[in-house]
Amino acid sequence: MKITFLGTGTSQGIPIIGSDHPVCLSDNPKDKRLRVSILVEWDVNSYVVDCGPDFRQQMLLNNVSKIDGIIFTHEHADHTAGLDDIRPFFFRQGDFPIYAHKRVIKALKQRFNYIFTTKNKYPGVPNIITNRIKNKPFELGNMIITPVKGLHYKLPVFGFRFRDFAYLTDFKTVSKKEKSKLKNLDVLVVNALRIKPHMSHFNLEEALALVDEIKPKRTYLTHISHHLGFHDDVQQILPENVFLAYDNLQITL
């Protein structure tokens, strides 16, 4: 299984438009972060988790010519706004599947009503097959995927476990029952927004506390804001088995 970090930034990305914050002015490519998303590939299968407003750019940067579907964590714009850009995949591959909680599908139908309408549909928009997922395992491409439920402030969100890899983004709280799904991981990816506490995201301390509790073999931090600091500086203070993810990083399991 191969994981590509398509984006590792928070909702505004890094650099933020018009910002003179030192991290936003950094020349280090690892300090430039598109909106958060990953590509998961195994056997002949390839699925993207979330498609934010940078989706088109991410596909081009990573030379992605085929994906089998998109799995959504939740409905916020930085995780869904790129949905229209699946059109090239639809034109080549046909009707395009998405996987999401029913609440998220409802939000997508409202935001992209011209895609989901059944009356006088505009020529050239993609046909989407909606697949509702609940908080129970489901199968894609001979792999069992296990949702992990958390809260993003008060909004329920899903993370996902693929075999011994788990991806959690936009988490602030997670129950003991849901943490039990994260045992014996080879790799955990988890959000770590900044140093100071935040009302709807893990900060660095909270992310590291989760790592210490569930003890994955390796951890990569994502959904990072400029307030976390320079990539190279933060990496130096992290535990030995914890790494800052960065855009276009690839790992294999």
Q: Does 25 have pLDDT greater than 90?
A: yes
3 state DSSP class of 114:
helix
90 vs 81: CA distance, rounded Å: 17
Q: Does 121 have pLDDT greater than 90?
A: no
238, 76, 78, 49: CA torsion to nearest 10:
70
**Topology of the domain covering 2-252:** Metallo-beta-lactamase; Chain A (3.60.15)
Measuring CA to CA, which residue among 56, 101, 104 is closest to residue 77?
104
pTM > 0.95: yes
Say if residue 15 is preceded by a cis peptide, omega within 30 of 0: yes
pLDDT digits (tens, 9 = 90+) for 161-171: 999 999 999 99
Angle at 161 between CA 38 and CA 134, to 5 degrees: 100
Contact 170, 76 (CB under 8 A): yes
pLDDT digits (tens, 9 = 90+) for 53-104: 999 999 999 999 999 999 999 999 999 999 999 999 999 999 999 999 999 9
207 vs 201: CA distance, rounded Å: 9
